[in-house]
Structure 1
Amino acid sequence: MIYGAGAVGGVVAARLAMAGHDVAVVARGAHLEAIRRDGLTLRQPSGDTVVRLDAYEHPAGTGKDVVVLGMKGMDTAAALVALEGFEGPVVCLQNGVANERAALRHFPDVYGVHVILPGSHLAPGVVEAHCEPVPGILDLGRYPAGTDATAQRLAAGLESAGFVSQPRADIMRWKYRKLVLNLGNAVEALCGRVAGLDEAAAPVQAEGEAVLRHAGIDVATQEEDRQRRGDIMRWPSDAARAGGSSWQSLARGTGTVEADYLNGEIVLLARLHGTAAPANETARRLVQRAARQGLPPGSMTPKEFLDAVEAVTLRTIGRS
C-alpha cells in the first residue's frame, strides 16, 4: 500500500504495478477521484502509461502487508494514527529525518528510504518521472540502523520495477545528506528557478552542514553521494522539470509546505545544541507564510531572500 501517491509515491506505485506487484494507493481529493475514474497516469520521457490500481481514501481494509508512507512530513502524524492496528513493516519513502522516529512510536518494524527520484505531481491523476530508463535510486534500511530479510525483499521489489535499490545498514547517514540538499527547496519555492537561486540557497545549506557537525550527527559525504548517483540518473536533453516538492506545493496552492520538517529540523537541532540557524529559520518562516497566503512560486527575488537572511542573522547576533 502506497499511502500518499504524489510525485514520489505515485511514481513508485505505478512502476510497481506495471512490474506485476499487488499495489493499492491511498490518496485524497481530486487526485483520488481521478485515479478511481481514469487510472493513474505515469508520464515519462518515452510517453504516458495509464495504470489501473485500487485507490482508497483511508488505509483501513486495503489488505496489504507492507505500508509505504509517501506523504510529506507534516501529514505523517495523522497517517500513523489512521494506520493503528496495522502489523506489517512501515517504509518511509519520504524526505526529512523525523518520519522514521515518529513511525517507530507506533510500529516495531520501520524502514527508511534515501529518495533520489526526480518527479512531479501538478495535476490530479498524473505523476511524472523525469529520468529514464532508471527513474530513481531508492536505497533503504531498518531504522535506526541495520538490514534484514525484509529490507532485501523490498529492495528486490523496487529493482524489479526499474529502480536502483540496495539495503543499507546506515540509511540515516544518507538521509541526512539528502536533508542538506532539500534545505534549498524552500528557497527555490520562494524565488523560483531563476538566476541567483544557487547563491541564495548556499547559506541555508552551509548552515545546515554546520549545525549537523555541531550536533555530532554522522552524515554521508558529498563525495559519497556523488559516487552513489554516478551516471545512473539520465535526464532527456529536452527535459523541462517543474521545481521541487515545495515549489510544487506552492504551484498547486495546497496551503502547506514541508519546511518545518526540512529547514525546521536544522532549526530544532541548532536550538537543542545551544546554537542558532537564522538562515534556515528565515527560509522556514517565509515559505510557510507564502503557502498560507496562497502565493505562487517566485514571490520574492534571490536578493530579497538574502537580505531577509542577513536581517535575521544580525538580530540573532544582537541577542547573543
Structure 2
Amino acid sequence: MRIIVYGLGAIGGCVAGLLARSGTEVIGIARGAMLDAVRADGLWLKGHDLDEAVPLTVVGHPTEIVFRNGDMILMCMKAQHMAGALEDLRAAGAADQPLFCLQNGVVNEDMALRLFPKVHGVMVWMPATYIDPGRVLCFAAPKFGVFETGLFPGGLDADDERFVDAFDPAGMAGFTHPKVMASKYGKLLMNLENILNAAMGPEAEKGPLPDLMRKEALAVLDAAGIAWEDRAQLVPERRGLAQISDLPGEARSGSSSAQSLLRGAGSIETDYLNGEITRLGRLHGVPTPVNAAMQRVGARMVRGGLRPGDLTLADLMAEVGNTV
C-alpha cells in the first residue's frame, strides 16, 4: 500500500513522517520552502522519545506522481486550498483512489465528493506545530495523535480498516467511526476558538467570546438538524491516548490559525470554521453576529500582516460591538 500525503504542514508533516519511519511507502506533496527543505535534508520530526530526520519522497505537484490502484490519498491542506488541490489531483490522473480528509472544518468532504467517488472524513486530534521549513513537532503522548475515520456522509468500508492498519504501527491511534461527521462537527465547535488564539496569543484571557460563539453554533446546529459529538466526552480508552505533553526546548505556537499567521502564509481558515456557523445561520435564519465578527477579524489580520498577540480582548469585543 502506498499513501500520498497532500500538504506537509503540521498535521500532514507529522503523519507523513510517522508513516514513513514505520515502513509505509509514502509520497508527500509540498510546496515552497517546505518542499526545498525536505528534498535537501529529509523531514525533521520531533515528538516524545523522537527527534530525527526522516527520509521522505516528496514532490511539488500531483502531476509528478503516477497514481496506482490501491493508493490512499490523505488531504492535509487547509480548506481554503482544497478546491485547487482537488482540481490538480483530477488533472494528474487520480480517479478511484480513496481520499481521506484530515482537515479542520466540515466542508472538505463535500467538496471532494463532487470530483471523486470515494471520500472519507477523518477527525484529527494531534497537537502539532509547523513554523520552520522541514521541521514539525508533535506535542502528544503516549500516542502521537487520535484519528477517527469513516465514509462520507456515513458508513465504513475496507479502506477505513486499511487506514487504521497503517496508522496504528506508526504510533498513532486509529479508529473507525460510521458517523464520523458527527465527530467532526464536535471538533468544529472546539476550533471556533482558533481565531481567538490567533488574534490574542495562546495565553490571553478570552472573556465571554468562547461561550458566545459556542451558543450561536449550538443554535445553528440544532436548527439545521445536524448531529454532533462532544469531543470532551471521548470514550475513556481514547481520551488519554494522546494527551498534550511538553517537548524539551520547544514551545507550542498555538492553533493552526495562529501558525498560519506566524508563517506569513497569506491566508487563514476562519471562513471555514466560524464561517461555517455563519453560513448555516444564514441558511436557517439563526443570527450569528459573534462568529461573523471573528471572520472579519481573521480577514483583517491577514490583510494587515498581523501576528498572534497583536490584538486584545478589547479589540475583539469592539468588533463584536452591540450585536450581542
Shorter-chain-normalised TM-score: which range? over 0.9
Distance 2:209 2:310 in 1: 14
Distance 2:287 2:81 in 1: 26
1:191 maps to 200
Distance 1:233 1:54 in 2: 27
Deviations 1:191-247 (CA, angstroms, capped at 9, x unpaired):
112341264333122221221112110011355336464221233356731101001
Worse-superposed segment, 292-301 or 25-34: 292-301
Worse-superposed segment, 24-33 or 285-294: 285-294
Structure 1 residues 55 and 222, CA, compared in 2 at 3 Å: closer, same or farther?
closer
Counterparts of 1:206-221 in structure 2, within 5 Å, are 206-221=215-230
TM-score, structure 1 normalization: 0.93
* Contact 1:211–1:270 under 8 Å retained in 2: yes
* Contact 2:47–2:247 under 8 Å retained in 1: no
Query: 1:32: how far off?
Result: 0.4
Structure 1 residues 112 and 227, CA, compared in 2 at 3 Å: closer, same or farther?
same
Counterparts of 1:265-304 in structure 2, within 5 Å, are 265-304=276-315
1:71 maps to 77
Query: 1:54: how far off?
Result: 1.1
* Contact 1:89–1:111 under 8 Å retained in 2: yes
Query: 1:124: how far off?
Result: 0.4
Worse-superposed segment, 98-107 or 45-54: 45-54
SS of corresponding position for 1:139: strand
* One-letter amino acid of the counterpart of residue 196, structure 2: V
Question: Percent identity between the aligned chains?
Answer: 39
Question: Considering only aligned residues, what root-mean-square deviation do their CA atoms show, in Å?
Answer: 1.6
* Contact 1:190–1:300 under 8 Å retained in 2: yes
Deviations 1:167-211 (CA, angstroms, capped at 9, x unpaired):
111000000000000000011111112341264333122221221
* Contact 1:184–1:205 under 8 Å retained in 2: no
Are 1:129 and 2:132 counterparts?
Answer: no
Query: 1:62: how far off?
Result: 2.0
Structure 1 residues 134 and 223, CA, compared in 2 at 3 Å: closer, same or farther?
closer
* Contact 1:200–1:303 under 8 Å retained in 2: no
Deviations 1:22-45 (CA, angstroms, capped at 9, x unpaired):
001000001100000011100113
Structure 1 residues 210 and 47, CA, compared in 2 at 3 Å: closer, same or farther?
same
1:59 maps to 62
SS of corresponding position for 1:83: helix
* One-letter amino acid of the counterpart of residue 204, structure 1: M
Distance 2:246 2:137 in 1: 16
2:87 maps to 81
* One-letter amino acid of the counterpart of residue 111, structure 1: H
Distance 1:141 1:234 in 2: 23
1:257 maps to 268
Query: 1:293: how far off?
Result: 1.3
1:46 maps to 49
Gaps of 5+ in 2: none
Q: How many residue pairs were aligned?
A: 313
Query: 1:286: how far off?
Result: 0.7
* One-letter amino acid of the counterpart of residue 294, structure 1: G
